[in-house]
Structure 1
């Protein structure tokens, strides 16, 4: 099975929280990471089957944009099958904390 990665970046923590919650509820995905980037923006990463990640990211975008106080989605991306090198270096892989929830 091809494991995709989906990432949503927002300006605020409430928006990334709403996005992450919507993503895990909308698709059979695992939330693998939530962090603040060096620019101060927030991002959330999910992994799972390609179709499920697409569905989850769509739901996450709607939820993040619905947050009050002009919550802004900065960007998002879906990578259907990241190379091993990308998976090993960038902060998108499963962590010990997320492994228990792996789909």
Structure 2
């Protein structure tokens, strides 16, 4: 993970809402969709990576998209210049790992 990158994450309830969030995030800013995780009992998190400004824009757009559908965003965060050790966790949720 590049030291100048950031992570953007949104957690909501249900696949439809997280897909809407991911779509809005990717359309709103130059971010890379890292992957998703079905956390528990229908809670799903989606992760993107990009520069700090792009991740902030993407997360804002994703949160708005979910709320516009009448759903609740349980949490969202942008982590600027994440510590390199976070890559161990991020890699677990990577679509590349899921798709082989």
TM-score (norm 2): 0.84
Aligned to 1:71: 71
Count of residues paired in the alignment = 95
Bigger proportion of residues as helix = 2
**What RMSD, in angstroms, separates the aligned Cα atoms of the two structures?**
2.1
The more displaced of 18-27 and 38-47 is 38-47
- Per the TM alignment, residue 4 of structure 1 is displaced from its structure 2 partner at its CA by 0.1
Q: Give 1:88-99 correspondences, 5 Å limit.
A: 88=88, 90-91=89-90, 95=94, 97=96
> Structure 2 unaligned runs (5+)?
none
Aligned to 1:101: none
Inter-CA distance 93–30: structure 2 relative to 1 (3 Å threshold):
farther
Aligned to 2:44: 42
Specify which of 5, 16, 24 is matched with residue 3 of structure 1. 5
TM-score (norm 1): 0.82
1:14 and 1:96 mapped to 2: Cα distance? 18
Inter-CA distance 28–63: structure 2 relative to 1 (3 Å threshold):
same
2:81 and 2:56 mapped to 1: Cα distance? 13
Regions of 4+ moved over 4 Å:
none
